[in-house]
A = this chain, B = another copy of it.
Amino acid sequence: MTNRQRLGIHTMTLKSWSLQETCAALAAAEVPAITLWRQAIEPVGVDLARQLVEDAGLRVTSLCRGGFFPAATEQGRQDAIDENRRVIDEAAAVGAPAVVLVCGAVPGQSLQTSRAQIQDGIAAVLPHAKACGVNLSIEPLHPIYAADRSAVNTMAQARRMCEQLNGENETQVGIAADVYHIWFDDALEQEILLSGKAGWLHAFHICDWKVEQSDPLQDRGLMGEGVIDIRQIYQWMSAAGYTGDIEVEIFSSHHWAKDPNLFLQEILTAYDECL
């Protein structure tokens, strides 16, 4: 059995549970870490959320999610910046060391423009993130999401943004590397190494890419159900110096339809087998 000391699970992965239920179940299963989605916090508020997580003895890896910086209007972009400052406040309040950024895109707006707006948006909130002691983790998204969810689609793009946004030897802005979004990239090993050397590998998300997908958003595979060589990517992350949590993030209407107790057991088994 693989050591589970680094295992984290996203609240969204077990979305049919309330935060109370998820915390209790993870504690009972000796899962040490939790990734909090704002949707799971909202019903209870940040204070109770923090209490629940602490009482369960869980480590918070990050808050999902901020981002969505691009907008067609200046007002829209300012609204996004304001919202991201609130997300950073929420992360600090709930004890999350980082905010994961799904960076955003605007259908019909050029990706170059969206990428510039993303970089400007992160720069605008970065001082607040520093003041709050919260890291910002850019998550490159698979190119299938380039039209409307993220104009940042490769590890290389995320790394270049880190270069632009961080001061020398700074690691406040980093990368959340999710195997689903990056597995096909022929520069992946090199990019992981470059970002790791700079200290920018903030997070590592795992799931799987099913060959047949019924839905582009909600048919991600449990580790082992698809084609991704997770162990290989894990080894590249390790070689690049990443020692943080390994987070299971799965959006799946198929898995969500079953008893979450059963799904959690399947996750534990799949986690042990994939690493």
Binding site for B on A (CB under 8 A): 107-108, 110-112, 115, 142-144, 146-148, 153-154, 157, 183-184, 186, 209, 211, 213, 216, 226-227, 229, 232
Contact = CB atoms under 8 A, between A and B. Distances in A.
16 contacts: A107-B211, A107-B227, A108-B227, A110-B232, A111-B184, A111-B186, A115-B186, A142-B144, A143-B143, A146-B184, A147-B209, A147-B211, A147-B227, A153-B184, A153-B186, A154-B186
Given A111-B186, A157-B186, A148 B211 contact: yes
A100 to B, nearest CB: 21
Contacts of A143: 142-144, 184
Interface of A, secondary structure class, is: loop
- Count copies of this chain in the complex: 2
Given A142-B144, A143-B143, A147-B226, 15 more contacts: A107-B211, A108-B227, A110-B229, A111-B186, A115-B186, A142-B143, A143-B144, A143-B184, A146-B183, A147-B209, A147-B211, A147-B227, A154-B186, A213-B216, A216-B216
Contacts of A216: 213, 216
